[in-house]
Amino acid sequence: MADHAHRTRTETESLGPNALRVSNLTVRLDGRTVLQDVSFDVRRGTTLAILGPNGAGKTVLLRTLLGLVPHEGTIAWREGTKIGYVPQNLFVADMPITVREFLGIKRGTDLQESLASVGLDPASILDERLGTLSGGQMQRVLIAWAIADRPDVLLFDEPLSNVDLGGEDLILETLNRIEKAFGITVLLVSHDVHNVIEYSDTALALNRTVVYFGPSKNLSDPALLARVYGSGTLLSKHAH
Amino acid sequence: MDQTAEPVAYAVLAGVFAGLASGYMGSLMVAKRMALVGDVLSHVALPGIALGILLDFNPFLGAFAFLLAAVGATWYIERSTRLPLDAVIGVMFVFALALGVLLTPAPDLLEALFGDIANVAWLDAAIAVGISTLVVLGVRAIYPGVVLSHISEELAVSAKVRVGWVTFIYLFLVAVVVATGIKVVGTLLVGALVILPAAAAKNVSASLARYGALSAAFGGVSAVAGILLSSATGVPPGPLVVLVGTGMFLASVVTKRIMGPRG
């Protein structure tokens, strides 16, 4: 996928310590501007959280970074970048497919190792039907899929949206462990400011255009948060 | 082999291979919730069959040419307009059906609509065997890519699946399966050859491997059973093939209620 992204870039050098540089990115869908003049970069080995209200263009940005959406501007990945992607949802409710078969689609996957690295017991889950897994189990299977071929970058779309409260910490712990173990750069879309402040290094707040780009810890400032989500937003609303 | 046994043997041979290929292909179509696409596409073949009859060339070639054109147009329109695939195919279906009924000579209309597997020559049987084998191999090759693209297009792209190409090959194979199946059960019922075996298999499968294998097996068995029943009773084979398939589906519903899906 990075190959496709490479074809769309105009800038090929001087990424320096960065894994990704996005410059003046504009996306129009059906004549409507969904993202306008978005610029940011992501340092290698760090975590960038992409925040914003519903309809802010967060998922469109991830899809654009994957090369799925036509755009203007530049998306420059470091040469040879391998991207792993963790989607928000899978359409598997009525698909007769087991965890073993799903992970097996990705060639060369070491099923045992991938599942063990996300804290799942291969023996008990490999022959389960994918559609019967809980939200947390599914999310970890998806992470196992994404890290199976040792990507340099992981893109996460709302990693906690289908996970119950108790399972969120487990997912974040898993992510932390993987990030440290493999030195992976992580881009995650989230609506949960609380987790973002704690977990990510940098935040990109979107509302069609960039509202804030900088250290995540600054988001604990209520004035900044109000700018990102509109007035009246309190941090405690998102806290667990 | 006596004089009547030979055509039946050819019909069984063509039927079992066409049934296997349509069942296997159908497992992908039902999984993608495109079960009715085969049914709808089959009607697109009618003007091609009509031209074959009118201009005296093999109607299979006419059917295949029209199906290919429809698949190509569907693929292009879907990619350029982002309209749902079923809506695009629906537009072509009504147009082609109207054109086909107007073009097909009245005496041949019934055969085109309900098939003529009883009149299969050895060459037809050989073609059906060859094409069906290629379809099974083709479907097997694209199976993981189609399943993954359906589960999540983004996931497929990140795994370097060429989604556009996989979709095109998939639609191409649908056209081939439909054109082959038309010989067995006719344009009106060919959709059943694709839907019934897969729907039955899905009821009793918890894994893709079992689902694909059972779909193919149910397709082959229903085609052969229908043809043999037809030969024994003199009733046209097309509807019998569909009735056997429906019986299998009902049995699968009962089995699912009693035992649940199996690995």
> Which residues of chain A lie closer than 8 angstroms to B209, CB-CB?
101
Our CA-based measurement puts residue B34 at a distance from the nearest CA of chain A, in whole angstroms, of 13
Q: With contact defined as beta carbons under 8 Å apart, do B22 and B219 qualify? A: yes
User: Which of A66, A95, A96 is facing B154, going by the closest CB pair?
Assistant: A66
Q: Pick the closest to residue B257 from B195, B214, B204 (CA basis).
A: B204
SS (H, E, C) B95-113: HHHHHHHHHCCHHHHHHHH
Residue A5 pLDDT > 70: no
What values do phi and psi take at A198, rounded to 5? -75, -35
Query: Closest Cα of chain A to B33: distance in Å?
Result: 10
pLDDT, one tens digit per residue, over A86-109 is 887 787 877 899 999 998 888 777
**Chain A residues within an 8 Å CB radius of B35:** none
User: Which residues in chain B have Cβ-Cβ distances shorter than 8 Å to A95?
Assistant: 31, 147, 150-151, 208
Q: What is the CATH number of domain B5-259?
A: 1.10.3470.10
Inter-chain touch A98–B207, beta carbons under 8 Å: yes
Q: Which residues of B touch A106 (CB under 8 A)?
A: 159
CA atoms of A146 and A87, how far apart (whole Å):
10
- A vs B: CB pairs below 8 A: 71
Provide residues of B within 8 Å CB-CB of chain A.
31, 144, 147-148, 150-155, 157-160, 202, 205-211, 261, 263
Kindly give the parts of chain B with pLDDT less than 70. Answer: 1-6, 110-118, 260-263
Chosen from B29, B154, B163 to mutate, greatest number of chain A CBs within 10 A: B154
Nearest to B202 among A89, A96, A101 (CB): A96
Q: What pLDDT sits at residue B263?
A: 59
- Whether A24 has a pLDDT exceeding 70, the answer reads yes
User: Residue A135: its pLDDT value, please?
Assistant: 82
pLDDT computed for residue A169 by the predictor: 76
pLDDT of residue A238 exceeding 60 = no
Q: Contacts of residue B160 in chain A, CB cutoff 8 Å?
A: 1
CB contact under 8 A, B158 and A129: no
Question: Residue A199 and residue B209: Cα distance in Å, rounded?
Answer: 40
pLDDT over 70 (residue A239): no
**CB atoms B153 and A146 under 8 Å:** no
Residue A120 DSSP code: -
Is the predicted pLDDT of residue A73 greater than 90, yes or no? yes
Set out the domains of chain A in order of their start, with CATH numbers.
2-238 (3.40.50.300)
The span from the CA of B181 to the CA of B196, in Å, is: 13
Q: Is the ipTM, as predicted for this complex, more than 0.85?
A: no
In the block, tokens 């049987």 appear at: B125
Nearest to B206 among A67, A98, A105 (CB): A98
Compute the average pLDDT of residues A132-156.
86
By C-alpha distance, which of B124, B138, B117 is closest to B25?
B138
Q: What is the pLDDT of residue A229?
A: 72
pLDDT of A55 strictly over 70: yes
pLDDT value for B4 = 52
Residue of A62, A66, A97 lying closest to B207 (CB–CB): A97
Chain centroid to Cα A167, Å, comes to 18
| Contact by Cβ (8 Å): B122, B115 | no
Instruction: Return the pLDDT at A9.
Output: 46
Is the pLDDT at A122 greater than 60, yes or no? yes
Asked if the Cβ–Cβ distance from A97 to B210 is below 8 Å, we say no
With an 8 Å Cβ cutoff, are A155 and B158 in contact? yes
Give the confidence band of A4 by pLDDT, cuts at 50, 70, 90: very low
Average pLDDT rounded to a whole number, residues A165-174: 74
Largest CA distance in chain B: 59
pLDDT tens per residue, range A25-40: 999 988 899 999 999 9
Q: Please tell me the distance in Å from B246's CA to the nearest CA on chain A.
A: 21
In the sheet that holds A47-51, the strands lie side by side as A83-86, A153-157, A185-189, A47-51, A202-207, A209-215
Contact list in A for residue B151 (CB cut-off 8 A) is 90-92, 95, 97, 102
Residue B261 has a pLDDT of: 65
pLDDT digits (tens, 9 = 90+) for B123-133: 888 988 999 99
Chain B residues in contact with A94 by the CB 8 A cut-off are 202
Rounded to a whole number of angstroms, the distance from the CA of B105 to the nearest CA of chain A is 43
Exposed (0-12), middle (13-18) or buried (19+): which is A198, by Cβ within 10 Å?
A: exposed
- Round to whole Å and give the CA distance between B184 and B189: 9
Residue A108, number of CB atoms within 10 A of its CB:
6
HSE, CB side, 13 Å, CA atoms: give it for residue B176: 23
What is the least distance, in Å, from the CA of A240 to any CA of chain B? 30
Residue pointed to by tokens 């897969």: B198
**B209 to A101: CB separation less than 8 angstroms, yes or no:** yes
